[in-house]
Amino acid sequence: MGEEWSNILLLRPWWLVLPPVILLFGLWRAKRGGGLAGWESAIDPHLKRVLTALGRITPGRANGALVLSGLVAGGLALALVGIALRDRTAPAFRNLDTLVLALDLSPSVLQGGSLDDVQAAAALLTQRAGGRPVALVLFAQEAYLASAPTVDPRTTESLIAVLDAETMPDTGSNPAKGLELARSLLADGQVEAGDVVLITDGGGLDAAAVRTQVEGITALGGHVSTVFVAPKTPAEGAPRADPDAARRVAKTGQGQAVGVGDTLELADTLARRASGGLSQQEDMIALLYTDYGRYLVILAMIPALLLFRRRG
């Protein structure tokens, strides 16, 4: 029974103000519906008894038409509320708006002591994905697919947690490779939109190949955002950290550039962007719930028919 009640939804709850108004109006009208209406409170009681005995006053009778009208109005008001139940036969939907996390595991990040920041940002974005499929791409000199798009955050989080300095089989820094792999994931998924989040210290982002891959992602309808992780110590021989390059990439990718401390802000932005289209609340309700208001209209018509009875 508890589960059944949890499936009930009021589509237009603001109409709940109408039944109390109808009830109050009905009580007020019934009070004035006697033979003397407002004179009941003005005439002297002994005069009323005399006039009644002489047949000058017709005692008030229950107004059946008023009761029937109230039932009709109340039924229509409940119909407008839109009492709906979850349709057990409704189709299930899967969000294909993929989120690709591209993690920079180049020496500048690993030797600079920024790996924990990369992991924290990636884990937060995974937790706040809101049911979107999340893919995990790792890159240094080459790029590797660590996790195909999945809606199970535990899978992605478990992989993020075990990343260390020995994870990548090569060294170097080539973010264009990571973006290329992310672009191919969006293209293979045939999604109308998607998001790529590059979690990096910005090293190597000024390359023309990076700009080419970012423009390719936007051409697919996707966006590229960046989370900048500042190195704690400089890494010898590695490209320098470049927050300005991270901001330029996000601007080209029509996304958002944030630091690690503002990752939650980016997660909220991605959630709002993914809430369009079929996932609009009104559209989903229409597909997943059955409105029984129409049947209440039919029931309300039964007392309405009685109002048209012929009287002798």
Q: What is the C-alpha radius of gyration for the chain, rounded to an integer number of angstroms?
A: 34
Q: Return the residue matching tokens 């009930």.
A: 8
**Strands 134-139 and 143-150, bridge-based pairing:** antiparallel
Integer angstrom CA distances of residue 139 from 13, 39, 94, 210: 51, 90, 28, 13
Amino acid 103: pLDDT: 96
Find the DSSP H helices in 139-207: 153-161, 175-189
The gap between the terminal CA atoms of the chain, to the nearest Å, is: 49
Check: CB of residue 195 under 8 Å from CB of residue 256: no
Residue 286 main-chain phi, psi, to 5 deg: -65, -30
CA distance 148 to 310: 74
The rounded distance, in Å, linking the Cα atoms of 210 and 187 is: 17
The helix or strand, by DSSP H or E, that contains position 227, with its residue range, turns out to be strand 223-228
- ∠ CA 252-246-193, rounded to 5°: 45
Dihedral sign of CA atoms 100, 102, 103, 109 in order: negative
- Distance from C-alpha of 7 to C-alpha of 289, rounded to nearest angstrom: 9
Token pair of 201 as six digits = 């210290």
117 burial level (CB within 10 Å; 0-12, 13-18, 19+): buried
pLDDT digit string (tens) for the chain, length 312 residues:
444 445 677 778 888 888 788 778 777 766 665 545 556 666 677 777 777 777 666 655 556 666 777 778 888 888 888 888 776 665 555 556 789 999 999 988 988 888 999 999 999 999 998 778 899 999 999 999 999 988 888 899 999 999 998 999 888 889 999 999 999 988 886 555 689 999 999 988 988 999 999 999 999 889 999 999 998 887 676 778 889 999 999 999 999 999 999 999 999 988 877 655 444 455 556 666 778 888 888 888 887 787 776 655
Do the Cβ atoms of 102 and 137 come closer than 8 Å? yes
- Phi, psi angles (nearest 5°) of residue 166: -100, 5
Task: State phi, psi for 147 to the nearest 5 degrees.
Answer: -150, 125
8-state DSSP, 57: S
Dump pLDDT digits (tens) for 215-243: 999 998 899 999 999 988 876 767 788 89
CA-to-CA distance for 128 and 122, rounded, in angstroms?
A: 10
Which uninterrupted H or E stretch holds 139? strand 134-139
- Domains by residue range for the chain, with CATH: 2-90+281-306 (no CATH), 99-273 (3.40.50.410)
As beta bridge partners, residue 258 has 227
Tell me what pLDDT residue 3 has: 44
Contact 217, 223 (CB under 8 A): yes
**22-58 burial: b if 16+ Cβ within 10 Å, else e:** beeebeeeeeeebebeeeeeeeeeeebeeeeeeeebe
